[in-house]
């Protein structure tokens, strides 16, 4: 069986490896440069020392310097889809389409074994590439994440950590199942494309914010109190005055303006006197990996269901 | 004589359409069984059910006494060549044999190579570049190299020209007699049957119309010509398969079950083609002048 898998899948393996090598080379070269700048400019040390996350010009210079490069990363989000389209969808569909299933399924290897061993081979390979990519991209984004503190934000969250691996497995499984059920490669590719994009959008846009109830923090926005939540996913921040009316954040600064004579104590008193109150709703930064785990479980679990469906369907429904 | 394939009330339905229904058969081991019938009669369905590629909707089928869906027990013992002999077109002939060696516990690759070399089929040629006849030979070689006890061939010669068809059937019969295996082959070309088959199964409209050893079937059937009568069974006539009457004379194709008692009929032997066409309910000789021209040219 392994000879056959290699003979039939070597081209896909080659394409996959070349794509991975190109992406990896790009990430390693630019990443090394970025890490050097991050360390040499002192930004790394500054961020490590002050949790405040405000390192002035050095920080903004660093972020703007790599902003263009940063915009490359969203393009990599199609990589899992490619695995689903070009490895998953044709896996069963191509044989069905060309009638060769009648040949290969009447040799000595049973259908479930035929499919399972091909799935195992391709999945192992896809997992290895995906894990390599996930490690690289997380390392690459590290300095930028630490500077901007937004790795929990929708969009950024999806680009790193362990979720890329789950996306790859899911896209692959979706492709295989669509191919087995639809029995034609092109429709299966279309279904994979639509299904993958739809689920990604639904999870990222609707479901993810409900994985866990957010933390609500209510506090008096005294000057000097940190209203940022570095590394957190902030759902909303609002400020109300003593009457309970919502006001813009900068209202506090104009109602209790810092002047030459004002001290911390007088400003504090002013803020308390007007009854300003902040309410922040957010997922704390500490939940980042928990959320990565939940999202991975969702996509990984669905992938397992789809793979089981593909095997069952191939055995029972297809001929 | 033990049965190589048994079916009882076997049926397969696609949606609301029965591709095969109520099929009860016992096919003997050790011969060539011809499965005939017009296109769409259910031949492919029956063969794919036998190969375990399809699951029956109704009834049951057993190959060597096992359910063919039990692939582990049955697959190593059968060779199957589907219609148009599908193979991986991007593989060379040699790679196709290597594939056979890797996906079968028993596979005589050397025998297959020698056989294909003997047929002058280049081993380094891609399968997609072979002629239809050559591809069919490669598929047959792979099926035979498994050393199966039962060979299932779905229209193996349909796409071949007459010369290639004869070569294929000769090669098939060589391979079969060499190894003493059973063969079920489907065809819609009746002329192939007489040369190759010992046993006949006629499928019509998804049902078995006739089955039995060809010699016995021919011995049992007679064409009777005599004065115009209303024919009845009895007196040696078990079944009237087809009858036609002119003003003064009746022509009957009958199945006999003893000596014929009615002396006014002249008996003729029937050939296989006549017999099959009679059971298919068609005229033995197509009356072209009776058909509209569009159908003749179609």
Instruction: Report how far residue A219's alpha carbon sits from residue A238's, in angstroms, rounded to the nearest whole number.
Output: 11
The ipTM estimated for the assembled molecules is 0.88
The answer to whether the Cβ–Cβ distance between B99 and A106 falls below 8 Å is no
Q: How far does chain A reach from its first CA to its final CA, in angstroms?
A: 21
Distance CA B103, CA A109 (A): 6
Show residues of chain A in contact with B78, CB under 8 Å. Answer: 106
Please state the rounded mean pLDDT for residues A131-140.
Answer: 96
Per-residue pLDDT reduced to its tens digit, A28-76: 999 999 999 999 888 888 888 765 556 778 888 898 889 889 998 999 9
Question: Which residues 58-77 in chain B show a CB within 8 A of chain A?
Answer: 71-72, 75-76
| CA-based nearest residue to B135, from B190, B82, B187, B178 | B82
CA distance A110 to chain B (A): 6
- Quickly list H helices, chain A: 2-40, 43-49, 56-65, 67-70, 73-76, 79-83, 89-98, 101-104, 111-148, 163-182, 185-202, 251-255, 264-274, 288-316
Chain A touched by B156 (CB under 8 Å): no
Residues of A whose CB is below 8 A from B69 = none
> Among all chains, which residue has been given the structure tokens 């056989």?
B115
Chain A stretch 6-35, residues whose beta carbon is closer than 8 A to a beta carbon of chain B? 7-8
CB atoms < 10 A from the CB of A186, how many?
Answer: 12
Q: Which residue of B has its CA nearest to A3?
A: B102
Whether A199 has a pLDDT exceeding 80, the answer reads yes
Give the pLDDT of residue A57. Answer: 83
- In angstroms, the CA B134 to CA B96 distance is 13
Task: Write out pLDDT tens, residues B120-149.
Answer: 999 999 999 999 889 999 999 999 999 999
Closest-CA residue to A20 (of A126, A157, A91):
A126
Pairwise CA distance, residues B17 & B23, whole Å: 15
Q: Give the pLDDT means over successive 10-residue stretches in chain B (298 positions).
A: 87 92 91 90 94 93 92 91 94 96 94 91 95 91 93 87 82 79 89 85 91 93 89 86 89 89 88 90 49 39
Determine the residue among B45, B74, B87, B102 to mutate to test chain A binding: the one whose Cβ has the most chain A Cβ atoms within 10 Å.
B102
- Of the candidates B55, B103, B106, which has its C-beta nearest A1's C-beta? B103
Q: Assess A254–B contact: CB distance below 8 Å, yes or no.
A: no
Task: Indicate the SS3 state at residue B158.
Answer: coil
B259 and B236 in contact (C-beta within 8 Å)? yes
Do residues A234 and A268 touch, judged by C-beta distance below 8 A? no
- Sign of the alpha-carbon torsion through A45, A50, A54, A56: negative
Nearest to B182 by CA among B292, B296, B44, B27: B27
Q: How far apart are CA B101 and CA B98, in angstroms?
A: 5
Query: Residue A48 and residue A136: Cα distance in Å, rounded?
Result: 22
CB < 8 Å to B75, chain A: 106-110
Task: Scan for tokens 């060979």, then name that residue.
Answer: B151
**What does the alpha-carbon distance between residue A47 and residue A59 come to, in Å, rounded to a whole number?**
9
**Any A CB within 8 A of B15 CB:** no
Would you call A110 and B86 a contact, using CB atoms and an 8 Å cutoff? no
Whether residue B103 and residue A98 make contact (CB cut-off 8 A), yes or no, is no
């Amino acid at each position: 069986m392994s000879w056959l898998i290699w003979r039939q899948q070597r081209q896909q393996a080659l394409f996959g490896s070349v794509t991975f090598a190109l992406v990896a080379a790009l990430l390693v070269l630019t990443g090394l440069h970025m890490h050097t700048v991050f360390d040499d400019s002192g930004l790394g040390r500054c961020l490590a020392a002050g949790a405040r996350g405000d390192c002035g010009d050095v920080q903004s210079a660093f972020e703007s310097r790599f902003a263009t490069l940063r915009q490359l990363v969203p393009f990599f989000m199609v990589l899992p889809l490619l695995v689903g389209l070009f490895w998953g969808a044709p896996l069963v569909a191509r044989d069905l389409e060309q009638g060769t299933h009648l040949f290969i399924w009447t040799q000595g290897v049973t259908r479930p074994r035929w499919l399972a061993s091909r799935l195992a081979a391709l999945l192992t390979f896809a997992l290895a590439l995906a894990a390599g990519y996930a490690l690289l991209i997380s390392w690459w984004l590290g300095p930028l994440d630490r500077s901007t503190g937004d790795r929990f934000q929708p969009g950024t969250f999806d680009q790193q950590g362990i979720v890329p691996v789950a996306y790859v497995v899911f896209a692959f499984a979706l492709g295989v199942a669509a191919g087995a059920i639809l029995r034609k490669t092109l429709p299966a590719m279309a279904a994979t494309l639509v299904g993958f994009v739809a689920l990604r959008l639904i999870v990222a846009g609707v479901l993810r914010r409900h994985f866990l109830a957010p933390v609500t923090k209510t506090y008096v926005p005294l000057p000097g109190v940190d209203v940022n939540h570095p590394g957190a996913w902030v759902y909303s921040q609002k400020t109300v005055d003593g009457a309970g009316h919502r006001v813009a954040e900068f209202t506090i600064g104009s109602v209790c303006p810092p002047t030459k004579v004002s001290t911390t104590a007088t400003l504090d008193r002013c803020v308390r006197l007007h009854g300003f109150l902040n309410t922040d709703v957010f997922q704390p930064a500490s939940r980042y990996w928990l959320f990565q785990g939940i999202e991975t479980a969702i996509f990984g679990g669905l992938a397992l269901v789809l793979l089981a469906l593909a095997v069952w369907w191939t055995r029972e429904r297809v001929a | 004589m033990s049965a190589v394939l048994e079916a009882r009330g076997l049926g397969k339905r696609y949606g609301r359409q029965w591709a095969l229904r109520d099929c009860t058969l016992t096919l003997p081991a050790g011969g060539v069984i011809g499965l005939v019938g017009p296109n769409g009669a259910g031949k492919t369905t029956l063969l794919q059910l036998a190969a375990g590629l399809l699951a029956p909707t109704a009834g049951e089928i057993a190959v060597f006494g096992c359910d063919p869906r039990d692939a582990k027990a049955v697959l190593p013992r059968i060779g199957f060549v589907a219609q148009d002999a599908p193979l991986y077109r991007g593989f060379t002939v040699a790679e196709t044999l290597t594939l056979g060696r890797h996906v079968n516990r028993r596979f005589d690759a050397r025998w297959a190579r020698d056989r294909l070399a003997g047929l002058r089929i280049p081993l380094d040629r891609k399968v997609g570049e072979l002629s239809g006849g050559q591809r069919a030979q490669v598929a047959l070689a792979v099926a035979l190299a498994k050393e199966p006890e039962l060979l299932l061939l779905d229209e193996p010669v349909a796409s071949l020209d007459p010369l290639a068809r004869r070569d294929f059937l000769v090669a098939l019969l060589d391979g079969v007699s060499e190894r003493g295996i059973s063969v079920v082959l489907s065809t819609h070309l009746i002329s192939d049957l007489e040369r190759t088959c010992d046993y006949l199964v006629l499928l019509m409209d998804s049902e078995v119309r006739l089955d039995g050893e060809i010699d016995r079937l021919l011995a049992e059937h007679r064409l009777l010509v005599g004065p115009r009568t209303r024919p009845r069974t009895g007196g040696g006539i078990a079944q009237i398969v087809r009858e036609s009457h002119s003003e003064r004379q009746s022509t009957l194709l009958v199945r006999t079950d003893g000596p014929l008692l009615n002396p006014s009929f002249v008996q003729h032997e029937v050939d296989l083609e006549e017999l099959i066409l009679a059971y298919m309910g068609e005229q033995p000789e197509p009356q072209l002048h009776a058909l509209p021209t569009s159908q003749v040219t179609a």
